Amino acid sequence: MMTIKLDGKKLAEKVKTRLIQRIADLKSKGIKPKLVVILVGGDEASKIYVRNKHRTAQKLGIETQDIRLQRTVKESELLTLIKTLNADDSVHGILVQLPLPEQIDAKGVINAIKPEKDVDGFNPQNVGSLFLNDPHSLPCTPAGILQFFEEYHLPVCGKHVVIVGRSNIVGRPMAAIMLNHDATVTITHSKTKNLRKLTRQADILIVAIGKAEFITGEDIKPGAIVIDVGMNRNENGKLVGDVEHSSVNERASYLTPVPGGVGPMTIAMLMEQTVNFAERSADFDGKNVFNS
């Protein structure tokens, strides 16, 4: 079987290209989309991710402000900062990079971000709207995954989607998105019995479990569409996904590579979400891909 690569780099560039005109339209009306990213502490992986966001925003002409706080910052100080950004009309998107230090209640911080500036889509109001099939903001990784299905014209309606992983960042919102597109959804996790029996039934398998090369070719149905969300280092230090690609390539019809698959789309969707919010704040009748 010839497995087709779902090229996240290429698709991300396409997404960013279509944003350029929308950003230009906003600027012609005196509105400059602005994203603020808050990074607490010095986690190296988070620093790299924030740097990539910053570079992408600059290339597109989205104003971006990175605020770096000491790991010892008090929760009250972080909440005060968010309150100030909520009230700043020049700021269209607010993102607090996770994870946060243990002295800070991440849930309280996420709840403090105004839903209309919550570019990560984690605020309970946005999560609730997603599960009611009236999404106002989507978490960026699931939004990026959805774009693969639209770009490659892959049918979701009526398909059996199996999701490995139940995180609030990927698994749970991904399940809601697939349900909203008329799929039959099974969520699996660390307590699931007969996990591999379920993965072999999937027409579409989305793996976001954080374990290097956990899913192999024997674990998938021939012809399945496989989305690998994982980013891990194996014992040799090589960057790999949650899927063992050499064996899965022999059975899957479509597969996202690692790197170059889901990762670039996550950042592209962050940019698009910021533009969406800027348009809404201006009552600008631009295209909103999440509600189209």
* CATH code of the domain covering residue 257: 3.40.50.720
Q: Residues comprising the binding site?
A: 165-167
Average pLDDT over the chain, rounded to an integer:
94
- Is 273 a domain residue? no
246 contact partners, CB below 8 Å, separation of at least 6: none
- Is 25 a domain residue? no
163-198 residue pLDDT tens: 999 999 999 999 999 999 999 999 999 999 999 999
Q: How many domains does the structure of the chain reveal? A: 2
61-118 residue pLDDT tens: 999 999 999 999 999 999 999 999 999 999 999 999 988 999 999 999 999 999 999 9
Q: Residue for token digits 């490659």? A: 152
Segments in 88-206 forming alpha helices (H): 106-112, 124-131, 140-151, 171-180, 195-199
Q: Is the pLDDT of residue 234 over 80?
A: yes
> With pLDDT > 90 as the criterion, what percentage of the chain qualifies?
88
Distance CA 91, CA 29 (A): 16
Asked if residue 257 and residue 173 are part of one domain, the reply reads yes
Distance of CA 241 to the CA centre of its chain: 16
* CATH code of the domain covering residue 41: 3.40.50.10860
Identify the active-site residue in 16, 34, 97, 147: 97
69 contact partners, CB below 8 Å, separation of at least 6: 38, 39, 40, 41, 77, 78, 81
Asked if residue 109 and residue 222 are part of one domain, the reply reads no
**DSSP state, 116?**
G
**Residues 165, 166, 170, 174, CA torsion sign:** positive
> With pLDDT > 70 as the criterion, what percentage of the chain qualifies?
96
Distance CA 170, CA 74 (A): 28
Task: Compute CA distances 138 → 125, 141, 221, 283, whole Å.
Answer: 11, 8, 29, 20
Residue 197 among the catalytic residues: no
pLDDT (0 to 100) of residue 283: 72
Domain span holding position 62: 30-116
Left (φ > 0), alpha (ψ -120 to 50) or beta: where does 256 sit? beta
pLDDT (0 to 100) of residue 1: 72
Identify the active-site residue in 53, 117, 159, 221: 53
Q: Which residues pair with 188 in a beta bridge?
A: 164
Q: Which two tokens stand for residue 119?
A: 């570019």
Which of 134-138, 179-183, 231-235 is the most confident on average?
179-183
117 contact partners, CB below 8 Å, separation of at least 6: 85, 86, 91, 92, 93, 94, 277
Q: Compute the CA torsion angle 128, 122, 171, 179 (nearest 10 deg).
A: 30
Q: Which two tokens stand for residue 173?
A: 């919102």
Q: Residues comprising the binding site for NADP(+)?
A: 165-167
**Which pTM does this prediction carry?**
0.93
Residue 53 among the catalytic residues: yes
- Is 247 a domain residue? yes
Identify the active-site residue in 7, 118, 120, 219: 120
Distance CA 168, CA 188 (A): 14
- Is 22 a domain residue? no
